[in-house]
Amino acid sequence: MSWVTTSTPDLWHHYGRVRATRDCAVPGTFYWSWSQDAGPGPEILGELTGRCVGDLGAGAARQAAHLAVHHQPARVIAVDGSPAQHAMATDLYGHLAPCLQIVQSDVVPHLQAMTRAYDVLYSVFGALDFTDPHEVLPAAAAALKPGGRLVYSTLAHYLNGTPAQPDAVAADIPAKTPDGEATTMRRWVLQQHVWIELLDAAGFTSITVDVLPAAVGGQRTADTLLVSAYHPA
Ligand SMILES: C[S@@+](CC[C@H](N)C(=O)[O-])C[C@H]1O[C@@H](n2cnc3c(N)ncnc32)[C@H](O)[C@@H]1O
């Protein structure tokens, strides 16, 4: 499990970097949609007061900071494998500890080390898009308490409009090294029935998938799949 090592470049080095220089506020809103400006919010996660919540692929931890400040969880653990994203999240929201804990780790070993620890796991276009679902979904199931909930948003199709995959396979998408060199990374963009089959195989129940249509047309807009599932009680 070597998602980021000292010998592999951090392909998330540039993500959110410009925004972090000018916007260090705790967001007042939380959205699942690709456009991040409309649609359902954290109510999809259920009651969070006193709960242990994990963000899988938290990036700069903006959503996790929102939950920590506005929803009274016992704690929110913002997990991200990228050294750059971890540093950015720590700079922006480290002051929200201990309610907000910012952890640098690949989500799979993190979840494997947290058996039955979480009430709620979620991801906003995060690690579930970029990690083999055959690894991360069973790990998430094992990390949830009985009756716990997993919710995530993911692309309903590729950003260029190409339909999602009919099988559980990744595609290589463009990425940049910290030096700006073009490379690729793997992204799982899957049809609804594929996610349902994978979640079912990982032991989840009460699986639902909602489509959140793109708010406006144009290039690089996208429909969102909002996926919700429960660990059996
Ligand atoms: C598109 S960003 C989304 C970040 C954040 N959820 C947001 O909405 O801004 C994807 C994030 O997932 C993280 N990520 C991808 N695969 C991961 C894995 N296996 N373990 C930990 N983090 C991962 C990346 O480092 C990156 O910060």
Average pLDDT over residues 104-128: 98
Q: Whose CA is nearest to atom 4 of ligand 1?
A: 59
Q: Whose CA is nearest to atom 25 of ligand 1?
A: 82
Token pair for residue 181?
Answer: 């060199």
Residue-number span of the structural domain to which 149 is assigned: 17-230
Atom in ligand 1 nearest the alpha carbon of residue 82: 25
Please tell me if the CB atom of residue 33 comes closer than 6 angstroms to any atom of ligand 1.
no
User: Is the pLDDT confidence value at 217 over 70?
Assistant: no
Question: Is residue 173 situated within a structural domain?
Answer: yes
Contacts 24+ apart (CB under 8 A), 169-174: 170/132
Helix (H) / strand (E) containing 17: helix 17-22
Confidence of residue 157 (pLDDT cuts 50, 70, 90): very high
Average pLDDT over residues 124-152: 98
Please tell me if the CB atom of residue 58 comes closer than 6 angstroms to any atom of ligand 1.
yes
Model pLDDT, residue 1 = 43
Model pLDDT, residue 2 = 46
Atom in ligand 1 nearest the alpha carbon of residue 106: 20
What are the tens digits of pLDDT across the range 25-57? Answer: 999 999 999 999 899 999 999 999 999 999 999
- Helix axis angle for 62-70 and 83-93, nearest 10°, is 30
Question: Is residue 219 situated within a structural domain?
Answer: yes
Please tell me if the CB atom of residue 154 comes closer than 6 angstroms to any atom of ligand 1.
no
Model pLDDT, residue 219 = 65
Q: Return the CATH number at 191.
A: 3.40.50.150
The secondary structure of residue 57, as a DSSP letter, is T
Question: Is residue 141 situated within a structural domain?
Answer: yes
Ligand 1 center to 104 CA (angstroms): 11
If one counts the domains in the chain, the total is: 1
Ligand 1 center to 57 CA (angstroms): 3
Average pLDDT over residues 74-100: 98
Question: Is residue 157 situated within a structural domain?
Answer: yes
Residue at token pair 């058996």: 115
**C-alpha closest to that of 103 among 126, 87, 124:** 87
Helix (H) / strand (E) containing 118: strand 118-124
Question: Is residue 110 situated within a structural domain?
Answer: yes
Question: Is residue 77 situated within a structural domain?
Answer: yes
Question: Is residue 11 situated within a structural domain?
Answer: no
Question: Is residue 138 situated within a structural domain?
Answer: yes
Model pLDDT, residue 220 = 73
